[in-house]
Amino acid sequence: MRVLRLLSLQAALLLLVAAATLPAQAVEVERVVSPGGIEAWLVEDDSNPMLSLELAFRGGAAADPEGQEGLSRFAAYLLDEGAGEYDSEAFQQVLADLSVRLSFDSGRDAFRASLATLTRNRDEAFRLLRLALSEPRFDPEPVSRLRAQLATRLARQAEDPDSIASRQLWAAIFPDHPYGRPVDGTLESLARIEVADLQRFVAERLTLDRLVIGVAGDIDAATLGPLLDRTFGALPAEGRVAPVEEVEASGQGGIIVVERDQPQSTVVFAQPGIARDDPDYYAAYAVNYVLGGGGFASRLYEQVREERGLAYSVSAYLAPLDRSAMILGGLGTQNARVTESLEVVEREWRRMAESGPTAEELEDAKTYLTGSFPLRLSSTGGIAAMLVGMQLEELGIDYLDRRNDYIEAITLEEARRVADELYDAGALTTVVVGRPAGVEATRPAPLPEG
């Protein structure tokens, strides 16, 4: 019954979020500072009786202690499993009764939370968020249950080709660095995490000095300010987070093959990328759209899917991290066609480096990238998430006004120079999971294959 109730709640909230749209051209970002000095960025809109809050604490799974990989994600999954006076079932029940959506997760660089609520339930929703962040219970039953669920998930990932490929690739690109460790951890590391570790995580890492907040929807600055203090004021001012060192993504290249008895192979590949704050980032963004980020319009899709029917989908995208950067890509194809698929990818990678995009391709990319941007601002949740991203990346509060100008300013000469400097087929590390015909591994898998 609880599962059905949560599914019904989720469906209802998705409809509400979809309805709560804001016209992108009217988005105005306001900096709100509470009486207690807590800052949030706000886009106010009272056209729908709801609001969304997104937050992030700088420092994610990459900061988990060695031997306790998966700590951040384990904590994230437990924060809404009982807090304050509510045990797990009661906390979930009150969220459902109020139609409040609250979730937590952790990536490599940040720990995140997402809240969506109707305006009439706003104060209670923020109170529940405060309890989850400041007074999580970590009771034995949910800790045991979530540990078992995560262990089951890890066991499935150990047999899932996509998960295997991703873990091997990250480990190959970032050997001896926290980025190369799995965000979900391992069965061994999960077993080592005790309640005291979870409590220490909350006390040391969910702190005001690392907090970033974005809010969008039916609330004004005067109301939000005191609400920020009531919600986050009890958090520790400062904490301790292990520093994550800068690292260059490996450009060693080569092919890693993980044998699995299946009719198709999963293929992922990566090379060093470009930092988000690099002056050439927007040119690289447009060039990558042409190569592999443009879906049906990309060169990789045209050559791999349309011309040869080698794979149902193929893509490549920029993946800037706080301490590094990659270009990531992938495809799936029949074992007998992996060799040809890899040859096509390498050829297109080299062709982009050698000649860059055509004038027409660049203009099409710029048209799409500027025209589609408002779709990312079509809901209160999307806007709140964008506000958090703008702060994490230090893009400036007027970024929404300036972003498309950066795209429009890209010249063909600049795009071709960046393509030449960035793309290096010889630096591509490729992981193939399956029984690819005719593909020889040129380097061993960095992780055990079993």
Q: Nearest 5 degrees, angle CA 11-CA 16-CA 22?
A: 140
Query: φ and ψ at 21, to 5 degrees?
Result: -100, 155
Q: What is the pLDDT of residue 294?
A: 82
Q: How far apart are CA 281 and CA 317, in angstroms?
A: 12
Confidence class for position 19, pLDDT limits 50, 70, 90: very low
Structure tokens at 163: 């998960």
Our CA dihedral for 134, 138, 142, 147, rounded to 10 degrees, sits at: 110
Mean pLDDT of 300-324: 95
Q: What is the pLDDT of residue 26?
A: 64
β-pairing verdict for 264-272 and 429-434? antiparallel
Q: How far apart are CA 119 and CA 102, in angstroms?
A: 15
Neighbours of 123 (CB within 10 A): 14
Mean pLDDT of 333-347: 97
Which among 161, 117, 383 has a CA at the least distance from the CA of 169? Answer: 161
Confidence class for position 240, pLDDT limits 50, 70, 90: confident
Q: What is the pLDDT of residue 1?
A: 34
Confidence class for position 295, pLDDT limits 50, 70, 90: confident
Query: φ and ψ at 197, to 5 degrees?
Result: -65, -40
Confidence class for position 3, pLDDT limits 50, 70, 90: very low
Confidence class for position 195, pLDDT limits 50, 70, 90: very high
Mean pLDDT of 402-411: 98
Q: What is the pLDDT of residue 183?
A: 96
Q: What is the pLDDT of residue 230?
A: 98
Q: Which residue has the tokens 């437990």?
A: 78
Residue 257 near residue 439 (C-beta atoms within 8 A): yes
Question: Strand, helix or coil at 106?
Answer: strand
* 92-132 confidence digits (pLDDT tens): 999 999 999 999 999 999 999 999 999 999 999 999 999 99
Residue 112 near residue 106 (C-beta atoms within 8 A): yes
Mind listing the domains of the chain with CATH numbers? 2-232 (3.30.830.10), 254-434 (3.30.830.10)
Q: How far apart are CA 365 and CA 297, in angstroms?
A: 9
Residues in Cβ contact with 56 at an 8 Å cutoff, skipping those fewer than 6 apart: 110, 111, 112, 113, 211, 212, 388, 392
Query: φ and ψ at 378, to 5 degrees?
Result: -95, 0
Percent of the chain with pLDDT over 90: 91
Q: What is the pLDDT of residue 23?
A: 44
Confidence class for position 296, pLDDT limits 50, 70, 90: confident
* 161-181 confidence digits (pLDDT tens): 999 999 999 999 999 999 999
Q: What does 34-89 look like in DSSP terms, one character per residue?
A: -TTS-EEEEEE--SSSEEEEEEEEE--GGGSPTT-TTHHHHHHHHTTS-BTTB-HH
Q: What is the pLDDT of residue 6?
A: 38
The yes-or-no verdict on residue 90 having pLDDT over 70 is yes
The yes-or-no verdict on residue 4 having pLDDT over 50 is no
**Which neighbouring-strand residues pair with 43?**
216
Which among 301, 277, 280, 304 has a CA at the least distance from the CA of 290? Answer: 301
The yes-or-no verdict on residue 250 having pLDDT over 80 is yes
The yes-or-no verdict on residue 444 having pLDDT over 80 is yes
Residue 144 near residue 74 (C-beta atoms within 8 A): no
Q: How far apart are CA 450 and CA 434, in angstroms?
A: 13
Q: What is the pLDDT of residue 418?
A: 98
- Amino acid letter, residue 180: G
The overall average pLDDT reported for the chain is 93
